[in-house]
Amino acid sequence: MGRLIRFDWAMKKLLRNKANFDILEGFLSELLKEDIKIQKILESESNRENELDKSNRVDLLVENSKGELVIIEVQNDREYDYMQRILYGTSKVVAENMYKGMSYGEIKKVISVSIVYFDLGQGTDYVYHGTTNFVGIHFKDVLQLSQTQIELYGQKEVYQLFPEYYLIKVNNFDEVAKDTLDEWIYFFKTEEIKPTFRAKGLQKAKQELDIMKLPENEQKAYKRYLEDLSYQASMFQSTYVVGLMEGRKEGRKEGKEEGRKEGKEAVALNAIQLGLSEETIVQITGLSIEEIRELKIKLQSK
C-alpha cells in the first residue's frame, strides 16, 4: 500500500472540486449512516463584523441535498478550548445563515464534524456523538415534539432541530477496522487504504489522493506542509509542554500559569519569524490576535 495525501490537505486542495464530491459524500455517508449528497461547497471563512469579532474559520463548510450545513475540520494541534471553539463555529454558521424576516423554524440544521489528532478531553472511545436533549428533572422523561411540530419541521425528535457534533479522536483508534467507518478512520491515521476496504468513497479517494499523481509543484507544497506539521509538533513538545512541566515542578499555581504563558509565547515568536499568518498562530498557540500583535511589536523593537 502506498501513502496517500492527508485528508486535511486534500480538503484544502482537491476535495473542493465538484468532480471529487463523491469522496466527501462517502465519508459523510459512513459517519452519519445515511446517503449524503453534497449540493455545494460554501465559503469557509466568515467575514468579521468588526475588529473584535472572531472570524469563523473552518476547513470545509458544505450544504447537503437536505439543506443541512456540515462543518468539517481537521485539527492537528492541541487546543484546550476546542470544545468552545466548535460551539462558536456552529453558532456562527447558524447566525450567518439567517436573514431578515426569516422565522426560527427555518433555521438550518448544522452538523459539526471534527477529526482531531490530539487527546481531546478524557475518554477511551475514538468516535463521539453529541446532541441536545431536554430531560425532566423530576420524572427523567425526554421532551418530545408535538405532532404539529413534527409536521412543520419534518423531524421526529427534539435533538434533530439542534446542531450535532461528531468528534473523531484519530490517535485513540487501534488500527483494526471493524466496520466501514473504521476504514475511513484507518485512512486518517495511516494515510493508507487497504485493497479489501469497501467503505463508500474510499476507492475514489485511493485513486485521487495518490501523492505520485500530484504535479511536481504540488508535491513540493505537500512536502512543505508535512514538514510544517512536524515543526509545529516539535515546537509544542519543546516549549509548551516543557513550560507546563516546569510550572508543575515549582508546585505553585503561578508557576503553572507562567509555564503555559511562556510556552505559548515562545511558539508564537518562532511562528512570527517563520512568517506564518496571525490566524495560523492563533490556532497553534491559543493566544489572542492582540497578544500576537504585542509580541510582533516586541520582536521589532529588539
Interval 142-161: pLDDT, tens: 999 999 999 999 999 999 99
- Verify that 76 and 183 share a domain, yes or no: yes
pLDDT in tens, 64-92: 999 999 999 998 877 778 999 999 999 99
Q: Are residues 191 and 6 in contact, defined by beta-carbon separation less than 8 angstroms?
A: yes
Residue type (1 letter), 16? R
**Three-state DSSP class for residue 36:** coil
Which tens digit of pLDDT belongs to each residue from 91-141? 999 999 888 788 898 999 999 999 999 888 889 999 999 999 999 999 999
The whole-angstrom distance between residue 73's C-alpha and the CA centroid of its chain comes to 2
Portion of the chain with pLDDT greater than 90, in percent: 47
Q: Give the helix/strand (H/E) hosting 10.
A: helix 7-13
Mean pLDDT value across residues 207-217: 84
Other beta carbons within 10 angstroms of residue 77's beta carbon come to 19
Domain annotation covers residue 178: yes
Sheet holding 110-116, edge to edge: 38-42, 60-64, 69-75, 110-116, 164-169, 127-130
Neighbours of 137 (CB within 10 A): 5
Last residue within a domain, chosen from 196, 213, 230: 213
Are 79 and 145 in the same domain?
A: yes
Q: For the chain, give the mean pLDDT.
A: 84
Indicate the range of 14-23, 60-69, 237-246 predicted with least confidence: 237-246
181 and 266 in a single domain? The answer is no
Query: According to the model, what pLDDT value does residue 181 have?
Result: 98
For residue 101, the 8-state DSSP code is T
Q: Are residues 232 and 169 in the same domain?
A: no
Residues 227 and 207 in one domain: no
In a domain, 90, yes or no: yes
- Residues 202 and 266 both lie in one domain: no
CA atoms within 13 A on the CB side of 206: 17
Tell me, yes or no, whether 189 and 252 share the same domain. Answer: no
d(CA 50, CA 55): 10
**Whole-number pLDDT of residue 113:** 97
The answer to whether position 284 is within a domain reads: yes
148-156: long-range contacts at Cβ-Cβ below 8 A with a sequence spacing of 24 or more? 152/105, 153/105
Answer whether residue 268 shows pLDDT above 60.
Answer: yes
Please give the backbone phi and psi of residue 89, each rounded to the nearest 5 degrees, phi first.
Answer: -60, -45
Whether residues 127 and 274 share a domain: the answer is no
DSSP 131-156: ----B-TTT-PBP---HHHHHHHS-S
| Domain tally, the chain | 2
Question: What is the pTM (predicted TM-score) of this model?
Answer: 0.73
Domain hosting 291: range is: 216-301
Does 1 map to a domain?
Answer: no
In this prediction, residue 128 carries a pLDDT of: 98
Residue 47 pLDDT: 38
Residue 170, pLDDT score: 95
Instruction: Kindly report, residue by residue over 182-191, the tens digit of the pLDDT.
Output: 999 999 999 9
104 and 230: one domain?
Answer: no
DSSP 123: -
Q: Which residue has the higher pLDDT, 33 or 9?
A: 33
Q: CA-CA distances (angstroms) from residue 78 to 165, 169, 246?
A: 18, 12, 19
